[in-house]
Amino acid sequence: MLTENLKKLRGKQTQDEIAKKLGISRARYSHYENGIREPDNNMLEALADLFNVTIDDLLGREINQLTKNHVDFTKDEKDIAKRLKTFRDEIENSDGLAFDGEPISEEAKESLIESMEHIFRQTQRINKKYTPNKYKDRE
């Protein structure tokens, strides 16, 4: 995507003209445009500034990762206890799971479930002690 965008953004200017503006050789710029070499972060900034675009635009990113990963949860989905139970059930009833790219053993699966149960109990215990200010008696 970068290579196509560089060619498009260059327009009628020559590679030599662009390279001079960037303070690099024409061959180096040509390598970026032809995908032989990838620009480092500083060069990406320089290219984006030169063409008056964002680095995301330069790289052809359609959507910001934060926006892409944003999920609007329903009330039930906001209930962490329900989500933990669902996740626990998925772990218990699924085969061929992986953890950090490696197949997960039955022992590791059990350990993960035990850890989740411990976290659940701890959170329940701590949460019972918490009383929001709006429910506290004011003196």
Alpha carbons 115 and 112: distance in angstroms, whole number: 5
Query: Which are the contacts of 113, defined by CB distance < 8 A and separation ≥ 6?
Result: 88, 91, 92
Class of CATH domain 2-63:
mainly alpha
Domain boundary assignment for the chain: 2-63, 75-133
Query: Which are the contacts of 54, defined by CB distance < 8 A and separation ≥ 6?
Result: 48
Would you give per-residue pLDDT tens digits along the chain (139 residues)? 889 999 999 999 999 999 999 999 999 999 999 999 999 999 999 999 999 888 888 888 764 444 444 445 566 666 777 878 888 888 888 777 888 888 888 898 889 889 988 888 888 888 876 666 665 555 4
Output Rg (C-alpha) for the chain, integer angstroms: 26
Question: Is-above-0.85 flag for pTM?
Answer: no
